[in-house]
């Protein structure tokens, strides 16, 4: 079950990326699957927000430098 959910999350994110660069969605989902995707994503977002709010300072390892963006 969790593998199926993870796969659907990845496919939905792929759709978001494709639409973000001006292409059409490639993967379709029924309403039940979309509800499950949104439910899981909302839980992840809440978890991420709680982690972010618990951090009061950044360590040197967490601070991004300009060189981190060079490929």
Per-residue pLDDT of 13-46, as tens digits, reads 898 899 999 998 888 888 888 888 888 888 888 8
| 7 domain-assigned | yes
Residue 58 has pLDDT above 60, yes or no: no
Q: How far is Cα 16 from Cα 8, in angstroms, rounded to an integer?
A: 12
Residue 36 belongs to domain spanning: 1-44
Domain membership flag for residue 31: yes
Q: Evaluate if pTM is beyond 0.85.
A: no
pLDDT at 54: 64
Residue 67 belongs to some domain of the structure: no
Give the total number of structural domains in the chain. 1
Kindly indicate the confidence band of residue 70, based on its pLDDT and cuts at 50, 70 and 90. low
In a domain, 34, yes or no: yes
The answer to whether residue 51 is domain-embedded is: no
In a domain, 6, yes or no: yes
Residue 63 lies in a domain: no
């Amino acid at each position: 079950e969790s593998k199926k959910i993870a796969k659907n999350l990845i496919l939905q994110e792929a759709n978001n990326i494709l639409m973000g660069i001006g292409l059409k969605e490639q993967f379709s989902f029924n309403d039940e699957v979309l509800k499950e995707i949104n439910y899981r994503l909302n839980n992840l977002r809440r978890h991420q927000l709680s982690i972010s709010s618990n951090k009061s300072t950044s360590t040197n390892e967490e601070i991004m430098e300009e060189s981190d963006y060079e490929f």
